[in-house]
Amino acid sequence: MARARLYAFVEGEVQMVGFRAFVVECADRLRLVGWVRNTRDGRVELVAEGEEPSLRALLDNLRQGPRAARVTAVKETWDDPTSEYSGFYIKG
């Protein structure tokens, strides 16, 4: 199965609602590696690597978000994996 790298920005009411922890939980369940962080402009940014079907499942989760979030857009970019991560974490 093909491995890939997903780079995404999630927009809407996505900060102060547990979104980063939600992403870590989803990524761990899907066996993805990478990171997630809040941006200064109110979005959530993330990089995830793994099997393409798992990354697409993560995208579906991002579009819904945790219960308290209101996602208005997910902007995604795909690339080749770099294999630089060994787990999935919240980045400072």
CATH of the domain at 17: 3.30.70.100
pLDDT of 72 reads 98
* 88 within some domain: no
pLDDT of residue 1: 79
pTM of the model: 0.96
User: How far apart (Å, rounded) are the C-alpha atoms in residues 92 and 81?
Assistant: 22
- The pLDDT mean for the chain works out to 97
pLDDT at 18 over 90: yes
Q: Who contacts 10 (Cβ-Cβ below 8 Å, separation ≥6)?
A: 19, 43, 44, 45, 46, 62, 65, 71, 73, 74
- The predicted pLDDT at position 92 comes to 83
Q: Are 2 and 49 in contact (CB under 8 A)?
A: no
Q: Contact at 8 Å (CB) between 86 and 33?
A: yes
For the annotated catalytic residues, the residue numbers are 20, 38
Count of structural domains within the chain: 1
* Domain around 50: 3-81
In a domain, 89, yes or no: no
| Calpha distance 7→75 (Å, rounded) | 8
In a domain, 57, yes or no: yes
- Whether residue 7 is contained in a domain is answered as yes
pLDDT in tens, 34-83: 999 999 999 999 999 999 999 999 999 999 999 999 999 999 999 999 99
* Angle (CA) 24 50 39, round 5°: 45
